[in-house]
Amino acid sequence: MEALLTRCERSFVSFPSTRAASGGASENPGGRKPTFRPEVQGLRALAVLMVVTYHVWLGRVSGGVDVFLLISAFLLTLSFVRKVEAGQSFNLLPHWLHLFKRLLPAAVVVLLGVLAGTWLILPQSRWPDILDQAWASLLYRQNWLLADTAVDYYAQDHSGASPLQHFWSLSIQGQVFILWPLIFAGAALVWRLLQGRRRLLFSGIFPGRDVSYRFVLLVAFAGIFIASLLFSIEQTATNQAYAYFDTRTRLWEFALGSLLALSVPYLRPGKALRIVLGWAGLAAMVSCGLVLTVDRSFPGYIALWPTLASAAIIVAGQSGSRFGVDRLLSWRPLVALGDNSYALYLWHWPVLVLALAGAGIASPSIGQGLGVVGLSIVLAVLTTRFVEKPLREWHWPKLRTRRTAVVVAACCAVLAGPVALWQTSITAEEAAAAAQPRELTPGAAALAPENAGKPTPAARIIPAPAAMKKEWADIDGLCTDANVPSDPLLSGCLQNTRPENVTKRIVVLGDSHAQQYMAALGPVAKRHGWEVVTLLKGNCRFGAESPERDQDCNAFNRASADYVMEHRPDAVFTVASLTHAEAPFETEVPGYLDGIRQFTDAGMDVVGVRDNPRFSINMPECVQKNGADAPECNAPLNESLAESSPLDSYRGGADRLHLMDLSDFICADGTCPAVVGNVYVYKDDNHLTKTYVQSMIPMFEQRLLAATGWT
């Protein structure tokens, strides 16, 4: 992985303990440069093994990626410092082109392999996101894409993960590989200016001495380290899911590697201390992911654990003792694995994700995991030998900068072509599905009594898989004017466009299962002149305070109730039962009657609608894999909803409580299908699609008016 970098010529400046020749010396017969340090190559291998092992068997984050980031900057810094101290020019454009000529070929091969695996294994609804991530991976912005979607990269069930998520760290590296040379160049400019003005600025502080280039870099990277670490701590505490992928919260890890590279020539630990440093660093690095909750606390100050541990190993260097950790890290098989570490990192995650998705399991057994690791190593070795190495050693691009640019452009084009064509095909399919006559896709209307027994005409199922991410119910915008809550907990207040003549004011309380009915309530409200305000929080069903809810949900519900009592709407809309993927399949909402009674006692109507089923599988993906008629995509009614509706127990509990049951337009004939009337009922494992709820509008309106007596 980060092992590739430029491989920075795979060389270090000589450590004080081993005065090797400088970078200009000829290579030894084995192809290694005299300054090559095998223990660091072994450290790379160990880091990638940590990443792979933790991903495959433990379902956790190891901290190994953080080690790679530090090593990346360490080697990069050594390379550029040598250039300056040898009087060489930076030649930044050729440097960047040369760098990405090395990085891109293996990455493109893996991306093409992932696209092939996606087409063969993954359901169509996942294709658009993976194609977007392919672009993001190619352009080194995958981390920002994942940050914006707050992807749970560290979830234990990897079967539903994207096979390209792991490109986030490579994207951060690519960004730093562009930024760091600019810092080196800027520091060189400052250094030369200071040399010319030393007497004016530094003669009293450093009498008789010039300010060195290393000193200027130390100041620059120390500043980056402090600023980024403080920012990382703050962001990790307030928005960890985003901070995990944020380049800015990771810069301090690169800065630490650069500071280490600048300092290590002046660190002279004795043999005994080298032995202690090496083994202590190794123990800390390997244990990090087991001892710490890396996934939920990185990349704040906790990430100092693996980075300082690897720094200790690097400082220990070659101990000169058979008891030093360098003897283990210099072991030939480990060093050889280090040579393939970039490709192994690239391959292990998609192989794992695609294997789990293909097998339909959440995590691998020991044997299955060994198969994943073995296949990943084989693919890594083949990629390194037949793609990465030949292109790295290809002489033709080295003769002209424009030739290197041609190779980089060609690598991009090899991937960009198939991705663009595939996306065009998906867009065309989505348009064709949406353009079908409405009578071919009746949705819930197919379950109406007048249509009982009538076969649904053959047609494409809507919405098209590519459009599934757009299937959340629409709400017009943020609350305005008098509807704006005073409590910051309710800052997500939304409302529909206010009618000119408001005949009724309704507040919707609850979670995403209340939101999904806005696809019906919204249009009905506009037709009748009702104003609708929504106060929604994910996974927080409305009810009185209960130990069955977490503290945040209870606080949100209290604030929501206070809002209702303050604004006194005509009615409150809620979801009044709670479904589960496992038995019992449907229960009462904890504290429901106690929660809504304050509203009814104040003269407000409360509408309570029955919840829809939840499943242990993604229903549209089930259809895409097995077909709409497959038994696994048509769950038995008695394993989806309670035999006796929980709403029955509420009757008589509050005078103005009006109950609605629409389950006969979701389940029928003893089953709860994934597709009704050529419309996907669910967008995932528990949320109704906007398209399906819209097909329920006539039935929803009829039952709402009948239950409430509204006109």
Alpha-carbon span 163 to 352, nearest angstrom: 8
pLDDT at 399: 83
Q: Tell me phi and psi for residue 72, to 5 degrees.
A: -55, -55
Q: How many CA atoms lie within 13 A of 204 on its CB side?
A: 2
Q: With contact defined as beta carbons under 8 Å apart, do 670 and 636 qualify?
A: yes
Mode of pairing for the β-strands spanning 477-478 and 494-495: antiparallel
Alpha-carbon span 357 to 159, nearest angstrom: 5
- Cα 331 to Cα 45, 46, 73, 325, 627: the distances in Å are 11, 11, 24, 10, 52
Domains and CATH numbers, the chain: 7-147+156-419 (no CATH), 461-708 (3.40.50)
pLDDT at 507: 98
Q: With contact defined as beta carbons under 8 Å apart, do 440 and 461 qualify?
A: no
Q: With contact defined as beta carbons under 8 Å apart, do 198 and 210 qualify?
A: yes
**pTM value?**
0.85
- DSSP structure class, residue 689: P
Alpha-carbon span 113 to 351, nearest angstrom: 10
Number of other CB atoms surrounding residue 312 within 10 Å: 22
Q: With contact defined as beta carbons under 8 Å apart, do 37 and 318 qualify?
A: yes
pLDDT at 198: 58
Q: Residue 474: which of 204, 691, 660 has the closest Cα? A: 691
pLDDT at 24: 31
pLDDT at 292: 75
Q: With contact defined as beta carbons under 8 Å apart, do 280 and 312 qualify?
A: yes
Q: With contact defined as beta carbons under 8 Å apart, do 295 and 59 qualify?
A: no
pLDDT at 210: 63
Mode of pairing for the β-strands spanning 605-609 and 571-575: parallel
SS3 204: coil
Q: Residue 479: which of 536, 555, 541, 519 has the closest Cα? A: 536
SS3 493: coil
Cite the DSSP H helix spans in 22-63: 38-53
10-residue mean pLDDT series, the chain (711 residues): 33 28 35 65 91 89 90 93 87 93 96 97 94 97 90 52 94 97 94 72 51 92 98 93 94 97 90 93 89 78 93 89 89 91 96 94 93 97 95 88 94 97 96 94 94 88 93 94 95 92 96 96 96 96 96 96 97 97 96 96 97 96 94 96 95 93 95 97 96 97 96 83
- Tokens for 96, please give them: 């960047």
Q: Give the containing element (helix H, strand E) for 11.
A: none
Mode of pairing for the β-strands spanning 504-510 and 530-536: parallel
The amino acid present at 622, given as its one-letter code, is: C
- Tokens for 690, please give them: 């906007």
What are the residues facing 572 on neighbouring strands?
507, 606
